[in-house]
Structure 1
């Protein structure tokens, strides 16, 4: 029985559902659950240490979490996962981080987050020495979504049977592509423009000619990408100086949000190598784990499977060392 439990522990590393693991070893699903429950002591974080540079981001977890959203905490310097936190609500996050010693929280120098305003007040309270950095992905995503909304609005205004509607629907990816990635020399026959041979740039010019609001939205979106990619404080300030009422409706909220977080965005230009990109990649892995398991009803099981499966997490590194020790004992026996 002990050897089977040890083999189940080693099998948990693989992205395999608990039911399949139980079938592999001819045991009940409850046996696999008991093995996971006995791992509680292995998966306790070190509440006396935090890295200098951290990042956290929310993701869809399950019904066990308030609002269905949980948080992932990462060491942004080496992209190692620190922990999975049950809820993203401010009261829960405050109680969670207060478990860490005051000295550990004072050691945190930067916190990279999205533009969710309540996080700012919470971070200032919990990590008084930390500089808050706005994640570049979430900054650009604000304008990305607004441009897409404007595109759909212009499509609906033109009518479903119109040439403009079909062209804006067909070339939506091209419209959202950063201008630096557009091609100037690919003369292709474009069915939506009478099979004329047009480059990507020429297609964009024709799309923007459909509507002034779309053109203004596109220019704002590309201007923001340019400012972020070149870490240009002057370009950002020039963009944020635009009167928000003069912008398309979808971009008015974007302008107010970016103005609120101006200093966080400028701080991100100095620490441009600290982004939530690795966190977003981890979120994709979590989706795969959830899909394989057909969802989770127990947060502890969910957290354990994530932390074991992520090879770069601190807990997974300790876990691999533990399982290697177990394997060595089994071979010796």
Structure 2
């Protein structure tokens, strides 16, 4: 029933929350670790207690009557067991259960309470799980940062294989010098395998790709350049509201979703409400047309038409002279090539953002991590399990 080979149960003791099993094993001849001769002579006994998996929802404690043998060479030694490692107070399958549970986004205290262990024991056991640094680079490499507050650094960096949708590594820092040291340690022939590098609109990431990934085409994540247009039209709406009466201003604020939502997704009533809103302000009406046109460009299937429409859109946005779009146009000019790559090749940071959400959940249920290596191993164990 226990599934522990060679165990004989002599006595069982029950409480409301735990079960104690007093067990022994059959006497047999064992090899001496010193001279190699077999001996069955027992020198003395001692009781060893260790944890096992819960039985019927109760914590299980096994008390084993352990023999210490003596050899003709004078060596004294304890018998060994397949299910119980040396110097451990829990069975192998408890350690395996800890690793299995750590792959879920649940707190360490929950795992410890379920198995009747301390949180420190669970953490110490999981520390034996280690994920090495990546040795092979993917075809599509995606990079992003997240707020981890681990290892005295506010932000950590995540590397993802955007094609196979798996985390490659977690870096303790996102600063340029740290990223340079990391990629410099990877052999050149591996870095040459990267054909596409997906990142947000942070200059350091693009600089890393230019310096260390010679064959990679840099792709700006679609979400990060589309939101430039969203921010611009939101700022136009906020400017337009300043000269409105309080009741109209409140209506505009509550109905902002009508301006941000795609026109073809609006109902007839919502379209009428939107038309009335756009009549209040000329710049807001122009900004809405710019937003709709840009969203339509992002949905085009043919790249040659998409590229021409995108360049025409930038020229038109410059010609209308809406101040809130100046920053957006500047960003599009600075990242022109990388945005066109996003249209052409279609890779995004979507898988990376999905992993970032999982990391946020893991961080929240764990009440944060101080030890970066433990945080890194937990992320890789949870997200790639």
**TM-score of the alignment, normalized to the shorter chain, above 0.5:** yes
Higher radius of gyration, 1 or 2 = 2
Counterpart of 2:134? 46
Counterpart of 1:133? 219
Cα RMSD between the aligned structures? 2.0
1:225 partnered with 2:295: yes
Counterpart of 2:61? none
Query: Whose strand fraction is larger, Structure 1's or Structure 2's?
Result: 2
TM-score (norm: length of structure 1): 0.81
1:33 partnered with 2:120: no
Q: CA deviation at 1:150?
A: 2.6
Structure with the larger RCO, 1 or 2 (CA within 8 Å, 6+ apart): 1
Equivalent residue for 2:194, pick from 87, 108, 111: 108
Equivalent residue for 1:181, pick from 255, 258, 265: 265
Taking a change above 3 Å as real, the CA distance of residues 150 and 61 of structure 1, as seen in their structure-2 partners, is farther
Equivalent residue for 1:60, pick from 147, 165, 184: 147
User: Residues 93-104 of structure 1: matches in 2 within 5 Å?
Assistant: 93-104=179-190
Q: Report if aligned partners of 2:150, 2:375 keep a CA contact under 8 Å in 1.
A: no
**2-structure distance, mates of 1:50, 1:24:** 39
Unpaired segments of 5 or more residues in structure 1? 186-198, 317-333
Q: Report if aligned partners of 2:134, 2:169 keep a CA contact under 8 Å in 1.
A: no
**2-structure distance, mates of 1:65, 1:90:** 17
Counterpart of 2:324? 250
Q: CA deviation at 1:256?
A: 0.2
Equivalent residue for 1:162, pick from 224, 234, 247: 247
**2-structure distance, mates of 1:299, 1:138:** 28
Equivalent residue for 1:279, pick from 322, 344, 352: 352
Total equivalences in the alignment: 291
Unpaired segments of 5 or more residues in structure 2? 1-89
Counterpart of 1:15? 105
Q: CA deviation at 1:171?
A: 1.4
Q: CA deviation at 1:107?
A: 0.8
Counterpart of 1:235? 309
TM-score (norm: length of structure 2): 0.71
**2-structure distance, mates of 1:153, 1:2:** 67
Query: Whose helix fraction is larger, Structure 1's or Structure 2's?
Result: 1
Taking a change above 3 Å as real, the CA distance of residues 180 and 115 of structure 1, as seen in their structure-2 partners, is farther
1:294 partnered with 2:379: no
Q: What CA deviation, in whole Å up to 9, does each residue of 1:214-266 have, x standing for no partner?
A: 22322222222122221511111012124648543332111101111111111
Moved more, 83-92 or 261-270: 83-92
Counterpart of 1:329? none
- SS of equivalent to 2:219: strand
